[in-house]
Structure 1
Amino acid sequence: MTPVELSRTVLRAMRHAVDAGELSVAVPETVGVERPRPGGCGDYATNVALQVARAAGRTPRQVAEAVAPRLAAEDGIAGVDITGPGFLNITLTRSPAEALVRDVLAHGRRYGHVHPDTGQLAQLHAPREVRALVVADAARRILRSQGTLVRLTCDAAPDPRWADVLGVRVDAYGIPPQPLPGLRPVPAPADPLPLGRDAARWALLHPAAHDHPRTDPAHGGDLHLAQRESNPLFRVRYAHARCRALSRNAAALGFDAHPGDVHPHDIPHPQALLAALGDHPAVLAAAARHRAPDRLARHLVVTADALLAYQHAVLPRGDEKPSATHRARLALAEAAGTVLAGGLSLLGISAPAYL
């Protein structure tokens, strides 16, 4: 069961409790599930009981006690425990790692996207400044991934090179008659175009909006072009390329990926990579909500570093024969590569298969 499916299951259990008269409260349209925090247990946890307790006229624990038995009776749920003031801790019947990998591979680069469209509309307006427009362009892409239709405007006609080199597209330009909520990050200190599209966009998007981007060669701008570990963009793109290389090498050894249980006692441990993949939908939602592409960029670095630390366990070594474990590890690596490719695409950056 994927996190999205589990969220729907929690809501269904709550509706059953309401229909049975055990609760009197409006059931939320959505509910979040996440990995248990310290003190929790199981595969996932939700704080929905705390969210609706006041409206239900009950304590959070009483709400949780009404929902827990019905949730435990749902298919795919092995057990439900109540911890703290009223957190529902859920144990699944299938390995959560396998379910997560299947979910990523099933959705491909659209993993974490919202479908169908929500019907929401957003207006983004930016000054005629290269970083502001690149940030707005990436924010538009991320918002679109979350089912929102976006219109991007600018104070004046952008430099045509910003479209040709950086891929920026503006729907209209001109000073609006009324002030609009705008994106005004710290401007680029130097022209980023000499860096090329991928490095320039990363240089402008990776820092938070209030941080100064490095686009001046005299102040580290050329580091975005460096093919070494100290360059976060290189690590992200290299991790994606390594994933594609693992798939090619596995095919040469006569096996392919198949999602399965990835054991937590594996060396190196897969938890960091699984956590990064599981967090991806929430990162996209937060990046869209805050119009902050830098959140996605930093998350891609975390995912890439976790994959690079895990990659050495994927393929058989020495006289080892390919096994179900190797196929499951390869599926996990391919899921990570899929997330990296999808995230880079939303930032307007390419994800080469060879690097």
Structure 2
Amino acid sequence: MGPAGWAGPRTGPDKASVTESGGLDPRRYAGWVTPEELSSSISSCLKDAVAAGEIDVELPSEVRVERPKSRDHGDWATNIALQLSKKAGMNPREFAGILKSRLEGIEGVSAVDIAGPGFLNIRLDAAAAGELARSIVEAGRTYGTNAALAGHVINMEFVSANPTGPLHLAHTRWAAVGDSIARVLSASGAEVTKEYYINDAGTQMNNFAASVLASIKGRPTPEGGYPGEYIADLGRTVLAERPDAADLPDEDALPVVRSIAYRAQMDDIKETLAAFGVHFDVYFSEEGLHAAGAVEQAVDRLREQGHVYDDGGAVWLRTTDFGDDKDRVLIRANGEPTYFASDAAYYLSKKDRGFPEKIYLLGADHHGYIGRLKAIAACAGDDMDANIEVLIGQMVSVNGARLSKRAGNIIELRDLLDWLGADALRYSLGRSPADSAMSLDPELLKKNTNENPVFYVQYAHARTCAVARNAAAAGVDRSAFDAGALDQAADEELLAHLGSYPAVVAQAAKFREPHRVARHLEVIAGAYHRWYDACRVTPLGDEPVTDTNRTRLWLNDAVTQVLANGLDLLGVSAPERM
């Protein structure tokens, strides 16, 4: 069933701006169609008017443009005259008139009207707008990328599940969202390293090894241990490599069991993530920190910074100086380091490895970590606002999901992948803000109908590919391009949404919100399905192939490219057939 009727959610950034702090290159794509280009043009006109003495006002760092409620009012609108006229000591319509005369001289702008108290409605020349189709096809995979975050070197940590069991439902969301955030950051010019922190030190690992050994020796799960069939599977893995493990005394068997079972469990985690389309650049071991003496060195370094003190036999970090609700113990009175000490050493390791910016994506139950992690950064001499960012994600549930047969008390990611597939999971988890709780409907995600958002967008991509195949069979190619031929309402609507795509990517990176990309893809898909119904690429019957047909193929293929680019940012495939 083809989704020709549903327009998709009517959400998505219809507003865009270019900022002095690093917006899109206003000359990157041909034609005055993108909102970034128009924003930049308005800013330039304002600066010219100030330089000419026509207005006297401090200019903002950004100018917003938006879609008018009615397309009869033009392609874009701005209220900048209303914002600045009072400060300039002018009537808003008088201010708008000065700006209107300058905007009308810009190539690609066909008309500028002053509406109401001083709104500026801007209409673009169809040929200038249509040039975007060719620009997108020629840009290919680079369309939508920008340099807003060029020069930013970021270490992004997410998932970091304990290697004591399989990945479960909560990890699923953090894997999908974290990977997509990393992708939009990279698309905006940042250098991003994706890192997984392996919590392979401490009591939990001892309990894990004891649980596997108990399974091997046919004993009950020890107190504080891990139940589940996966423990028995790990026991069999251990015996396959070390058949003598069952006969060794516990004190000799435990290190052997721990090493083999840990390696096998980490392999399972990596394989599951790979099946989910998530790959980490670095797997960083907590145990390695301790083995290298990095924890003790971190305490010494923080003491040199003046933030460590001794009290009651313990060693403390004075985190209350930087907004934490209480000071934190680094070394217990018995000489054992705390998890907080490991966190401090890990933060310093990231700093030493050349990452000025560190992003942590943590679950809702880690909300209390925000203050203490930021305090570590400040104690280390960093800017707690610029050098560290802690994102908190909320929980997700799946209607009708069954607990894992292997683990017994969790919903495994591996089972979800077998049930729903990576594309459905990643798209669905990526299209909602990470800081809002959500519930997935498996029955919806398995439907090949308009109601299913991932199907809706993927079907649009597949339909563009089908149109291209049919065009080739009919002798329609891209040997000619007439931008002025894209003058139908459906053409204009589609071009407008394609033109907004780079701004959406930049905003997704700026706000760490990849769901903006998903929602905008749905807007593009809806516009494409309406365009498909209104505009033909292949001629009917014996009609000759014209440059209009060829030009529409350019636009069709531009949609193919943008949908593929956007789906890739979400870690979702772009099928050519469905």
1:337 and 2:560 equivalent? Answer: yes
Please, what TM-score do these two structures have when normalized by structure 2?
0.53
The number of equivalent residue pairs is 347
Change (3 A) 1:176 1:149: farther
Partner of 2:22: none
Is residue 104–residue 111 contact of structure 1 (8 Å, CA) maintained in 2?
yes
Is residue 250–residue 256 contact of structure 1 (8 Å, CA) maintained in 2?
yes
Partner of 1:206: 431
> Following the alignment from structure 1 to structure 2, what is the Cα–Cα distance between the partners of residues 167 and 65?
53
1:168, distance to aligned residue in structure 2 (A): 2.3
Supply the RMSD in Å over aligned alpha carbons. Answer: 3.2
2:395 pairs, out of 179, 186, 191, with 186
> Following the alignment from structure 2 to structure 1, what is the Cα–Cα distance between the partners of residues 156 and 198?
14
Change (3 A) 1:270 1:40: closer
Is residue 135–residue 183 contact of structure 1 (8 Å, CA) maintained in 2?
no
1:138, distance to aligned residue in structure 2 (A): 0.4
1:78, distance to aligned residue in structure 2 (A): 3.0
1:25 and 2:57 equivalent? Answer: yes
Deviations 1:58-106 (A, max 9, x none): 4544432332222222333333222233332223344354133234334
1:344, distance to aligned residue in structure 2 (A): 0.4
Percent identity over the alignment is: 37
> Following the alignment from structure 1 to structure 2, what is the Cα–Cα distance between the partners of residues 39 and 306?
14
SS of the residue aligned with 1:181? strand
SS of the residue aligned with 2:181? helix
SS of the residue aligned with 2:426? helix
Letter in 1 for 2:275: V
Between structure 1 and structure 2, the one with the greater Rg is 2
Partner of 1:346: 569
Partner of 1:217: none
Please, what TM-score do these two structures have when normalized by structure 1?
0.82
Deviations 1:220-252 (A, max 9, x none): 436535444443222322221221221222122
Q: Which moved more, 1:339-348 or 1:29-38?
A: 29-38
1:320 and 2:543 equivalent? Answer: yes
Spell out the pairing of 1:1-355 with structure 2 (5 A cutoff). 1-3=32-34, 4-38=36-70, 41-53=73-85, 56-58=88-90, 60-95=92-127, 97-115=129-147, 117-120=149-152, 124-126=156-158, 128=161, 129-150=171-192, 152=194, 156=198, 159-170=269-280, 171=282, 176-177=343-344, 178-179=373-374, 180-187=389-396, 189=398, 190=411, 191=413, 192-194=416-418, 195-209=420-434, 210-214=436-440, 220-221=441-442, 223-257=444-478, 258-260=481-483, 261-264=485-488, 269-270=490-491, 272-312=493-533, 313-355=536-578
Unaligned runs of 5+ in 1: 215-219
Is residue 77–residue 120 contact of structure 2 (8 Å, CA) maintained in 1?
yes
Is residue 126–residue 182 contact of structure 1 (8 Å, CA) maintained in 2?
no
Partner of 2:221: none
1:172, distance to aligned residue in structure 2 (A): 6.3
Change (3 A) 1:245 1:40: closer
Q: Which moved more, 1:197-206 or 1:113-122?
A: 113-122
> Following the alignment from structure 2 to structure 1, what is the Cα–Cα distance between the partners of residues 156 and 95?
41
Q: Which moved more, 1:204-213 or 1:155-164?
A: 155-164
SS of the residue aligned with 2:396? coil
Deviations 1:297-326 (A, max 9, x none): 222223223323432533212222222332
1:342, distance to aligned residue in structure 2 (A): 0.7
Is residue 2–residue 103 contact of structure 1 (8 Å, CA) maintained in 2?
no
1:150, distance to aligned residue in structure 2 (A): 4.1
Letter in 2 for 1:193: L
Change (3 A) 1:163 1:55: farther
> Following the alignment from structure 2 to structure 1, what is the Cα–Cα distance between the partners of residues 463 and 58?
48
Change (3 A) 1:96 1:182: same
Letter in 1 for 2:504: V
SS of the residue aligned with 1:182? strand
Letter in 1 for 2:516: R
SS of the residue aligned with 1:247? helix
Letter in 2 for 1:2: V
Unaligned runs of 5+ in 2: 1-31, 162-170, 200-265, 287-341, 345-372, 375-388, 399-410
